[in-house]
Amino acid sequence: MTDNELLEQLFQPMKEMQVPDDGFTKRVTQQLPKRDTKKLSRLWTAFCIVAAIVLFVLMRGWETVGFALQTLSNNLPTQQQVLLFMVSVATVGIVIASELLFSGKRGLRYVFD
CA 113/CA 111 separation, integer angstroms? 6
Applying CB under 8 A, what is the total number of residues that bind another protein?
Answer: 26
Nearest distance in Å: CB 53, another protein:
26
Is 21 a binding residue for another protein by CB under 8 A? The answer is: yes
Restricted to residues 61-100, the positions that interact with another protein (CB under 8 A) are: none
Is 105 a binding residue for another protein by CB under 8 A? The answer is: no
82: amino acid identity, one letter: V
- Under DSSP, the state recorded for 66 is H
Radius of gyration, CA atoms only, the chain: 31
Nearer to another protein, 33 or 77 (CB): 33
CA distance to 2, 61, 81, 102, 111, per residue, from 40 (Å)? 57, 28, 39, 14, 11
Note the residues at the interface with another protein (CB under 8 A).
Answer: 1, 3-4, 6-8, 10-11, 13-15, 17-21, 24-25, 27-29, 31-33, 35, 37
